[in-house]
């Protein structure tokens, strides 16, 4: 089985970006933890971060060609803006879990709506880097 972990815009700044909201864990640490979880479950792993909506859409298309079984995605700000990411995930029909470090529902109202949540297998938010660990564990359980 193959799991793909996707990260949207500004998540490359984790560790220095608003640590009171997003914590001090870096993206490399999050990716390493997920890679370790997948290896322990004998599941293939790849990860990708981009600040570009187009690159994320193209990475999702490639996931279909690569026969990825499950996607864990933190769409970051594109959560609240991107019909294109929604359509890409719907188009490839790869099951996915939506993840957020913060709890968008406890923040500004423009973060309350997600273009992806109703298509997701599940949504995990508000638990910092632990949100990712729980999402990867849940994905591995489904495979
Ligand atoms: C985020 C929440 C989004 O609202 C925000 O735009 C992000 C990060 C999170 O992980 O908490 O960039 O997805």
What domain range is 42 assigned to?
Answer: 2-130
Whether 138 is in a domain gets the answer no
Q: Is residue 64 part of a domain?
A: yes
CATH number of the domain residue 117 falls in? 3.40.50.9100
Pair of tokens at residue 105: 């529902």
Q: How far is CA 65 from the centre of its chain?
A: 19
Name which residue sits closest to atom 2 of ligand 1, judged by CA. 76
Query: What pLDDT does 72 receive?
Result: 99
Instruction: Report residue 79's pLDDT band, with 50, 70 and 90 as the boundaries.
Output: very high
Residues 6+ away with beta carbon under 8 Å from 15: 24, 25, 26, 27, 29
Domain annotation covers residue 141: no
Q: Which of 7, 20, 22, 105 is catalytic?
A: 22
pLDDT tens digits for 90-105? 999 999 999 999 999 9
- Asked if residue 27 belongs to a domain, the reply is yes
Three-class SS state of 63: helix
- pLDDT tens, 119-136? 999 999 999 999 999 999
Q: What is the pLDDT of residue 70?
A: 98
To the query of whether residue 100 is one of the catalytic residues in this protein, the response is yes
Count of structural domains within the chain: 1
Question: Which residues pair with residue 44 across a beta bridge?
Answer: 2
This model of the complex carries an ipTM of 0.99
In a domain, 54, yes or no: yes
Q: Which of 100, 113, 115, 130 is catalytic?
A: 100
Enter the tokens of residue 54: 């187009």
Ligand 1 closest atom vs CA 99 = 10
138 lines ligand 1 (CB under 6 A): no
Tokens of 92: 């490839």
Kindly state whether residue 112 falls inside one of the protein's structural domains: yes
pLDDT in tens, 21-36: 999 999 999 999 999 9
Is the whole-model pTM more than 0.90? yes
Across all residues in the chain, what is the average pLDDT? 98
pLDDT recorded at residue 22:
97
Q: How many CA atoms lie within 13 A of 131 on its CB side?
A: 23
pLDDT in the model for residue 48 = 99
Q: 77 in ligand 1 pocket by Cβ < 6 Å?
A: yes
Q: pLDDT above 90 covers what percent of the chain?
A: 100
CA distance 98 to 65: 21
CA distance 71 to 64: 11
Q: Is the CB–ligand 1 distance for residue 4 below 6 Å? A: no
Domain assignment present for 135: no
Q: Which region holds residue 63: left if phi is over 0, alpha if psi is between -120 and 50, else beta?
A: alpha
Q: Is residue 60 situated within a structural domain?
A: yes
């Amino acid at each position: 089985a193959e799991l793909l972990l996707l990260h949207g815009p500004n998540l490359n700044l984790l560790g220095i970006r608003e640590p009171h909201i997003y914590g001090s864990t870096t993206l490399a640490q999050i990716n390493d933890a997920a890679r370790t979880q997948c290896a322990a479950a004998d599941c293939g792993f790849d990860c990708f971060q981009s600040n570009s909506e187009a690159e994320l859409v193209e990475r999702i298309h490639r996931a279909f060609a690569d026969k990825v079984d499950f996607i864990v995605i933190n769409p970051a700000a594109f959560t609240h803006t991107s019909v294109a990411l929604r359509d890409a995930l719907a188009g490839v029909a790869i099951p996915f879990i939506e993840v957020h470090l913060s709890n968008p529902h406890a923040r500004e109202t423009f973060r309350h709506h997600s273009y992806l949540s109703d298509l997701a297998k599940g949504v995990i938010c508000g638990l910092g880097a632990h949100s990712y660990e729980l999402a990867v564990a849940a994905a591995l359980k489904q495979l």
